[in-house]
Structure 1
Amino acid sequence: MSDQNFDMIVIGAGPGGYVAAIRGAQLGLNVACIEREHLGGICLNWGCIPTKAMLRSAEVLNLVQRAKDFGVKVNAPTPDLEAIVKRSRAVAKQLSNGVGYLFRKNKVTSIMGQARLVGTGKVVVTTDDEEQVLHSANIIVATGARARQLPGLESDGKRVWTYKHALQPPHEPKKLLVIGSGAIGIEFASFYNGIGADVTVVEVMERLLPVEDAEIAAFAKKAFERRGMTIREGAKVARLDRHDDKVVVHIETPDSTTEEEFDTVISAVGIVGNVEGLGLSEAGVKVDRSHIVTDPYCRTGVEGLYAVGDVVAGPWLAHKASHEGVMVAEMIAGRDGHPVKPETIAGCTYCHPQIASVGLTEAQAKAAGYDVRVGRFPFQANGKAIALGDSQGLIKTVFDAQTDALLGAHMVGAEVTELIQGYVIGQKLETTGQDLMETVFPHPTLSEMMHESALDANDRVIHY
């Protein structure tokens, strides 16, 4: 058993952990990063990246199927799921290998193994060959999260899947049920719908996409239904009867219980933090509903022990995890912290149409006591959207009527996951509606709709 000393130890090499390790090394710290499975964590290997690769394939298929609308003749295109998955895995592997390169470039010590805390400033790592003991006064837990499994709805990898199974499917779904309409559920529903599956989405809350602005969610629902999806809101999957070739699903609503047959079910009902086997309770770390409790600076309350990313409180997003990792590494190196404000973190869902948002919804702003002004602008009135042949969408902005501050922005439509960052920067710089109205947006672009939405909030909209 070997002993090694480091200035900083990071447990987990996902978007929070590997970014923290690299930033710490850049600042001159001697850093070790421990990962039990894949460099890059869930995001690069089983989440953000491979799902976007698969969704891109569905987008390309949809565009080719509409080629005649653009004056292009193409013989009937068909999806090749095996090839789509192969490309997705190759993209994930490329980026995971890239993390290894960045570790070597920045002289981060990378250790593959299972870590556990065994006393103040001490981590034992179990690898295939040995146990190593690492010492550091500064330890960051960045172990991420995994799919939540509900009793009776557990995945089996055959007919009932989690996101991992959906990324490497054992068969191509023809009739698919997706349980849950958060980002993960809607993205897989959109992908499989895009390659021809008959898709039903069941959401236990009273409306689809419950964390989004109600108006945006309603717009998205209509768009999904036009694409052939069936949406069941206020419904609960009570039981699954599993068979070799199908699943009989018992769906409850306040008024009735029905049985429907599907060949595949994807469960996307949230996540649980990876807190087991780390020695957290022995170290005195508080855990609340599978997530480590921290202060705004990611401190656990135990001296020298921090936690970042999906293993702490939400929003559970890769970009939030990376920001936290950088902050903690910089604090350890003696710099000031820059805490994450959850209300300034953009949420993006890469379905078709895309959905993106930041800040307060209209309902949240009113509930918080704001007198609001709301602006809207539809894609169908934007020249670039019409030229792209993708003119179904809406941009909505919420302002404080008293101070003119931008409280929130909510979008559905083509490339809104790219557009949203304009509003994120605006919030960071304390942008007002007047600032947005006086900004010159390039033409013709989709971003002009951001300008028009601010104009609309002040009864000055030009093109609608």
Structure 2
Amino acid sequence: MNDYDIVILGGGPGGYVAAIRAAQLGKRIALVEKEKLGGTCLHKGCIPSKTLLRSAELYETMKRSSSFGIRVHGIELDYSNVLARKDAIVERLESGVRFLMKKNKIDVYEGMGMIANTAITSDRNGVIEVKSSGIAEGEPPISIGYRDLIVATGSRPRRIPGLPVNERIMSSDEALAMESVPASVVIVGGGVIGVEWASMLNDFGAQVTIVEAADRIVPTEDEDLSRELARLFTKRRIKTLTGAMLLPGSVLADDGGVVLQVSRGSKIETLMADRMLVSVGRAANIEGFGLERTAARIEQGVIAVDRSMRTNDPHVYAIGDVVGGLQLAHVASHEGVVAAESICGLDAHSPEAVSVPKCIYSRPELASVGLSEQAAVESGHSVKIGKFSFKAIGKALVLGDSDGFVKVVADEKTGDVLGVHMIGPHVTDFIGEASLAQLVKATSMHIGRMIHPHPTLSEIIGEAMLEADNLALGM
């Protein structure tokens, strides 16, 4: 049996980053992955979906190229090549992760890892049994010992009870495998994944309807962002039904498409489409690998951890989607570093949710960090608001994309930046400035007085900060 200082279950952005950081700190590491290195983010989430979104954005831009003084004839979508580009990017990034494992001398075990019910010895606190496809039937699994274990098993699309998954009724996993763009689609769930797919499929030419149970789409964002996205989606003829509940027993799917019913108050509406995409959140992968053989505790469907990512079992840590909270790749990576450093005796803690930047890659993009206006008021702050439109930003006009705004929420007494909320072109690329402002506890005046290069989109942050103090220059 090979014994390791740390064994990590799961090779996604949480697991492989934890492995690298622990290796940097001198630990002997094993990483166990049952599918492919990179996890959901690389193979079924962030990277493939954003690659498709970029193709959709470019396709839409080319269709309006005449507004840039360029006449193009015969624009045609070649979806098979769109998918080929996606696969090539994923493959390239996966090879990069493999290189990092080799560079950092991390042993990778390909197969399903199970926590074994094995006696503790002086050299180890537990054992993982790895059953890989390369092991012949009847042969015992490979056993590896650990002093500490990091569980990074991720999540999967949440299913609606009683609703099948097939060619017509999909989660985001199956949607990525579509060989063509459907003529029409109903998306159940208007959160992050739902609005990204709605934007993408609309740009590819599909008729899209969103069904959202809350009273607004992207309900976890600031209300002003939700309203603006809904307005712009309506402008693009994306139909949005809010306060609407799917009636699961009403769903019928056959070769002709999908028919379903939704209730809105006392009214029931029938919808028809080629396909239905279910996007109602993600469930933590806590089953099937022997977690019950440890002292780790499950609370509300996720693994309970402290701020060092330690479970109730002193030698078992958990990170990423499997611990709930903000199920984001960059959060998982940060938690992976925290877990590795905590095991190595360093003082490391998981981030407060309020300090984590959130990004939505629809068209337009959304990005935010900190408290919404409503949350700030409910927390007892007296707030001042700075809001500035992209229509007054020269670079946005140059790009031909000037919808949206940046909204700053600051404390009226201290000027401290409490939250920044953006909707517009490329806002995911400069939300980092707002995150830094929160980290260093900057005031709106600090950021407003910064010199922002001209012409850039980032100028809007400075203007919105100045606007909070009624000092915007209107550049």
CA contact (8 A) 1:153 1:267 kept: no
CA contact (8 A) 2:12 2:41 kept: yes
Task: Determine if the alignment matches structure 1 residue 207 to structure 2 residue 216.
Answer: yes
CA contact (8 A) 1:358 1:410 kept: yes
Task: Output one character per residue of 1:436-458: Cα deviation in whole Å (capped at 9) or x when no partner.
Answer: 12211111111111001011111
CA contact (8 A) 1:118 1:283 kept: no
- Tell me the CA shift for residue 22 of structure 1: 1.1
Task: Output one character per residue of 1:62-87: Cα deviation in whole Å (capped at 9) or x when no partner.
Answer: 11111111111211312122111111
Partner Cα distance (1:32, 1:202) in 2: 43
CA contact (8 A) 1:274 1:290 kept: no
Task: Output one character per residue of 1:265-299: Cα deviation in whole Å (capped at 9) or x when no partner.
Answer: 00000010111112112312111232111111111
Q: Which residue of 2 aligns with 1:227?
A: 236
Task: Determine if the alignment matches structure 1 residue 136 to structure 2 residue 146.
Answer: yes
Q: Which residue of 2 aligns with 1:102?
A: 100
Aligned AA (1:176) = V
User: How many residue pairs end up in the alignment?
Assistant: 461
1:116-135 equivalences under 5 Å are 116-119=114-117, 120-128=125-133, 129=135, 130-135=140-145
SS of 2:54's partner is helix
Q: Which residue of 2 aligns with 1:295?
A: 306
Name segments (4+ residues, structure 1) moved above 6 Å.
none
Aligned AA (2:447) = L
Task: Output one character per residue of 1:330-386: Cα deviation in whole Å (capped at 9) or x when no partner.
Answer: 222232213211111111000000011111100000111110011000000111111
1:81-230 equivalences under 5 Å are 81-119=79-117, 120-128=125-133, 129=135, 130-156=140-166, 158-230=167-239
SS of 2:430's partner is helix
Task: Determine if the alignment matches structure 1 residue 284 to structure 2 residue 295.
Answer: yes
Q: Which residue of 2 aligns with 1:409?
A: 420
- Unpaired runs of 5+ residues, structure 1, are none
Partner Cα distance (2:220, 2:47) in 1: 22
- Tell me the CA shift for residue 301 of structure 1: 1.4
- Tell me the CA shift for residue 255 of structure 1: 2.5
- Choose 127-136 or 109-118, whichever is displaced more: 127-136
Taking structure 1 as the reference length, the TM-score comes to 0.97
Aligned AA (1:122) = V
Aligned AA (2:142) = Q
Aligned AA (2:168) = R
Partner Cα distance (1:154, 1:189) in 2: 21
Q: Which residue of 2 aligns with 1:52?
A: 50
Q: Which residue of 1 aligns with 2:324?
A: 313
Q: Which residue of 1 aligns with 2:400?
A: 389
Partner Cα distance (1:26, 1:213) in 2: 39
CA contact (8 A) 2:80 2:179 kept: no
Partner Cα distance (1:200, 1:282) in 2: 45
CA contact (8 A) 1:139 1:305 kept: yes
Partner Cα distance (1:358, 1:31) in 2: 34
Aligned AA (1:106) = N
- Tell me the CA shift for residue 24 of structure 1: 1.0
Task: Output one character per residue of 1:156-212: Cα deviation in whole Å (capped at 9) or x when no partner.
Answer: 2x0011111111104421110011011111111111101100000010001111001
Partner Cα distance (2:307, 2:246) in 1: 37
Partner Cα distance (1:146, 1:260) in 2: 27
1:18-97 equivalences under 5 Å are 18-97=16-95
CA contact (8 A) 1:64 1:77 kept: yes
Task: Output one character per residue of 1:1-53: Cα deviation in whole Å (capped at 9) or x when no partner.
Answer: xx110011100000000110111112211100000001000000110000010
Partner Cα distance (1:208, 1:8) in 2: 42
Aligned AA (1:187) = E
CA contact (8 A) 2:155 2:322 kept: yes
CA contact (8 A) 1:206 1:233 kept: yes
1:409-428 equivalences under 5 Å are 409-428=420-439
Partner Cα distance (2:165, 2:295) in 1: 33
SS of 2:147's partner is coil
Aligned AA (1:196) = G
| Identity level (%) | 37
- Choose 129-138 or 300-309, whichever is displaced more: 129-138
SS of 1:463's partner is coil
Which of 313, 328, 339 is residue 339 of structure 2 equivalent to? 328
Aligned AA (2:262) = I
Partner Cα distance (1:350, 1:438) in 2: 29
Partner Cα distance (1:203, 1:115) in 2: 37
- Choose 161-170 or 202-211, whichever is displaced more: 161-170
Partner Cα distance (1:154, 1:462) in 2: 55
Partner Cα distance (2:299, 2:91) in 1: 34
- Tell me the CA shift for residue 108 of structure 1: 0.4
SS of 2:418's partner is strand
Partner Cα distance (1:390, 1:148) in 2: 34
CA contact (8 A) 2:181 2:204 kept: no
CA contact (8 A) 1:166 1:188 kept: no
- Tell me the CA shift for residue 121 of structure 1: 2.1
Aligned AA (2:126) = G
CA contact (8 A) 2:387 2:464 kept: yes
Task: Determine if the alignment matches structure 1 residue 359 to structure 2 residue 364.
Answer: no
Partner Cα distance (1:258, 1:227) in 2: 22
Task: Determine if the alignment matches structure 1 residue 6 to structure 2 residue 4.
Answer: yes
Partner Cα distance (1:188, 1:403) in 2: 40
